[in-house]
Amino acid sequence: MTSQAPQTTPMLLFDSLNSYQRSEALKAAIELDLFTAIGTTDGTSTEVAARCNAAERGVRILCDYLTMNGFLSKEGSRYSLTQDSAAFLDRRSPAYLGSVADFLLANHITGAFKLLAEAVRKGGTAVSSEGSLEPDHPMWVTFARAMAPMMYPVSQMIAQVIDPAANRKLKVLDIASSHGLFGLAFATRNPNAEVYAVDWANVLELGKENANKMGVADRYHTIPGSAFDVEFGTGYDVVLLTNFLHHFDEPTVESLLKKVHASLADGGVAATLEFVPNSDRVSPPGVAGFSLIMLATTPSGDAYTFEEFDRMFKNAGFVKNEIHSMEPAIEQLIVSRK
């Protein structure tokens, strides 16, 4: 018996070159509220088209394409939602995540990838000298509003890990607070928690909105400005670093961590939420691939391994670092103790 080498095929090449069609089809369906329409009609293209105020031909072709890509099921001439689409793309669902497309497919992200070859040549974003890190960049308001539904469950898990009893006096510093949900998870669970949120002034307005909605505005304080420039104060029991450190190179991260360490009370902890690839830096794919986003959109950001984070935190004075799964989220929580 002789073994034959696998036959070569260009399918991976063509699938990759055409992959933008998948994201644009999904974006169009979200804009049309197609998934909600399918969930609330008889599922025929005629009924769905009427609900979406669109042409029947257009809806039929889009629905067929979404069926081929696993977002819909089709029986005869009727379309129905898959389990995942019903959970995350039907606007009636409490787990609706359609808003994330507003950020992930925004021009300031996709435009950076149009210049990826130049970013590779430079070793950092080709969009501008600072990319997405420009002061008061409006994209962070979009990010805060779009990503909040996705981050709410994770914020609750972090608060449970760090403050399980939720009854002790707690001073929490939320760096790059965005929508505010990470700090607010502590305030809503623990009536003795005071939260101090750091972010650009325009972004902090959304955090204040959410604090008002959750009834904890009297315990939600804001510190506008760059985390590298503003005074944090001292005596914090918890410092939150969620989806932030990956924007910077290691020396910059360490300089911030030293500032965080100084702000913590004795026995305080830093809670860091990050995409943490394995040491091979190519697995798991959804996590390791985040470094490419940092290459396209930031001057020097990266997806750091736990070994790299462990070294950076210890260089900043922290004595112990533990990593926790946040499943079903793909990010992980690093708890660092002073």
Residues in a beta bridge with 195: 172, 220
- Topology given in CATH for the domain delimited by 107-337: Rossmann fold (3.40.50)
Cβ atoms of residues 214 and 188 within 8 Å? yes
Read off the DSSP letter of residue 242: E
Distance CA 140, CA 284 (A): 27
Digit-coded pLDDT (tens) for 281-296: 999 988 999 999 999 9
Tokens standing for 122? 């430079």
- Given this model, what pLDDT does residue 134 score? 62
Distances (CA, A) of 294 to 88, 140, 245, 248: 26, 15, 11, 9
What contacts 166, CB < 8 A, 6 or more positions away? 159, 186, 189, 190, 193
Could you give the residue range(s) of every CATH 3.40.50.150 domain in the chain?
A: 107-337
- Given this model, what pLDDT does residue 13 score? 93
User: Which of the four pLDDT bands, split at 50, 70 and 90, describes residue 273?
Assistant: very high
Cβ atoms of residues 88 and 98 within 8 Å? yes
Tokens standing for 38? 């399918």
Look at residue 140 and tell me whether its pLDDT is greater than 80.
no
User: Which of the four pLDDT bands, split at 50, 70 and 90, describes residue 230?
Assistant: very high
Mean pLDDT of the chain, nearest integer: 94
Digit-coded pLDDT (tens) for 158-169: 999 999 999 999
Distance CA 291, CA 312 (A): 18
Residue in the structure block whose two tokens are 């394995």: 278
- Given this model, what pLDDT does residue 4 score? 74
Amino acid at 116: L
Cβ atoms of residues 248 and 219 within 8 Å? no
Digit-coded pLDDT (tens) for 1-17: 566 777 889 999 999 99
Could you give the residue range(s) of every CATH 1.10.10.10 domain in the chain?
A: 11-96
Distance CA 151, CA 15 (A): 31
Helix residue spans in 172-305 (DSSP H): 181-189, 201-213, 250-263, 285-288, 290-297
Digit-coded pLDDT (tens) for 58-111: 999 999 999 999 999 999 999 999 999 999 999 999 999 998 898 889 888 899
Cβ atoms of residues 113 and 279 within 8 Å? no
- Given this model, what pLDDT does residue 6 score? 78
Residue in the structure block whose two tokens are 């403050």: 163
What contacts 103, CB < 8 A, 6 or more positions away? 109, 139, 142, 143, 146, 147
Read off the DSSP letter of residue 115: T
CATH number belonging to the domain at 11-96, selected among 1.10.10.10, 3.40.50.10070, 1.20.140.10, 3.40.50.2300: 1.10.10.10
Which stretches of the chain are assigned E, i.e. beta strand? Answer: 72-75, 78-81, 170-175, 193-199, 220-224, 236-242, 264-274, 320-325, 332-337
Residue in the structure block whose two tokens are 């069926």: 67
Cβ atoms of residues 195 and 208 within 8 Å? no
Residue 85, φ and ψ in degrees, nearest 5: -65, -40
Helix axes of 181-189 and 201-213: crossing angle, nearest 10 degrees: 30
Element (H, E) at 317: none
Span 228-256, mean pLDDT?
Answer: 97
